[in-house]
Amino acid sequence: MSIRADQKIKNEISLQDPIGIDKEGNEITLIDILGSEADEIINTVELKIEASRLYNLMERVLKKREKTILELRYGLHNGVSKTQREIAKMLGISRSYVSRIEKRAIKKLSKEFQINSCQK
């Protein structure tokens, strides 16, 4: 029985045991790696929550043209962002008008984000 117990202990790994060395010569432990993955998961979830809030605000606050310009400018649907010049050509308006609409839309969203953050 004692031999089996010893073998189980040999297979156990402590989270504090060194598993390697980083570029700077510091020891890396298992807890270092697991901790960073947990942080990344939390950051990803928080980012998705904020993105969801942004899309809801865009639907509620922005006019159709403002929303369209922001979606095209920042690639919110397909990941491909467009220049103001490209958007202007697509919509048949001037580049400077696209710029003004974009700034106005961002200002509206920023204001709403601040209002909603204060209410929570």
Q: Do 74 and 86 lie in a common domain?
A: yes
User: What's the full length of the chain, in residues?
Assistant: 120
The per-residue pLDDT of the chain, averaged, comes to 84
* Count of domains forming the chain: 2
Residue numbers of the domain that contains 1: 1-61
User: What contacts 19, CB < 8 A, 6 or more positions away?
Assistant: 28, 29, 30, 33
Q: Do 72 and 100 lie in a common domain?
A: yes
Higher-confidence position of 87 and 79: 87
Q: What is the mean pLDDT of residues 30-36?
A: 66
CATH number of the domain residue 71 falls in: 1.10.10.10
Q: For residue range 52-86, what is the model confidence (pLDDT) as tens digits?
A: 888 999 999 999 999 999 999 999 888 899 999 99
